[in-house]
């Protein structure tokens, strides 16, 4: 039997196999994207878009932080007292309110609008302090601005005083990795 007759005789089987494979690939891609979107959702879109623009932030970074900090739970509260979607400390919220003369009720951190506005304001402040270096900003958001400055001035953690080669706090190190991963996925899936 020659190749041509074999191909003609098996063409329907080949086409069905290719079609089944294409459907399986589509389903795998569709379901995996749906699962990712379920785990990394877009919520509070109006507030995130508004305050990301106001404070010149990438909205996907804000979503990544909210997802990591609270899982989009407006009532989230940490054991140390951080509150709301972006897990702000009441002292930080009050400081931001005074520093930037925001004239809002900074004690209402369980309100999505208030929390996202103050969280974005704080992120913008950290972006300015750390020359838009997202890794340093995330480290400061989690571990504290003062700690990051100390680490940058310590040869054990920074070679050049501008970047960190090592974050000594395991929680902060893991936080930076987690939010950075979320950020990459948010940008890939939603943009």
Q: Which residues are catalytic?
A: 69
Q: Tokens 């569709």 identify what position?
A: 30
> Considering only CA atoms, which of 57, 69, 42 is closest in space to residue 123?
57
83 strand-pairing partners? 77, 88
DSSP secondary structure of 39-80: HS---SHHHHHHHHHHTT--HHHHHHHHHHHHTT-TT-B-TT
* CB 144 within 8 Å of CB 107: no
DSSP 168: S
Tokens of 104: 């809002």
Question: In whole angstroms, what is the distance from residue 183 CA to residue 161 CA?
Answer: 25
């Amino acid at each position: 039997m020659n190749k041509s007759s074999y191909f003609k005789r098996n063409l329907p089987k080949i086409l069905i196999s290719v079609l089944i494979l294409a459907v399986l690939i589509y389903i795998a891609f569709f379901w995996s994207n749906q699962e990712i979107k379920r785990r990394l959702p877009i919520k509070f879109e109006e507030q995130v878009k508004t305050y990301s623009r106001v404070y010149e932030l990438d909205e996907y970074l804000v979503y990544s932080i909210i997802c990591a900090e609270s899982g989009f739970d407006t009532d989230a509260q940490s054991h140390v007292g951080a509150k709301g979607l972006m897990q702000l400390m009441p002292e930080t919220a009050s400081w931001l309110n005074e520093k930037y003369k925001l004239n809002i009720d900074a004690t209402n951190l369980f309100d999505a609008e208030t929390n996202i506005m103050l969280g974005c304001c704080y992120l913008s402040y950290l972006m300015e302090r750390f020359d838009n270096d997202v890794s340093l900003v995330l480290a400061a958001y989690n571990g504290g601005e003062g700690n990051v400055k100390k680490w940058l001035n310590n040869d054990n953690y920074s070679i050049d005083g501008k970047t960190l080669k090592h974050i000594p706090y395991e929680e902060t190190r893991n936080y930076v990795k987690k939010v950075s991963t979320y950020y990459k996925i948010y940008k890939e899936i939603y943009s």
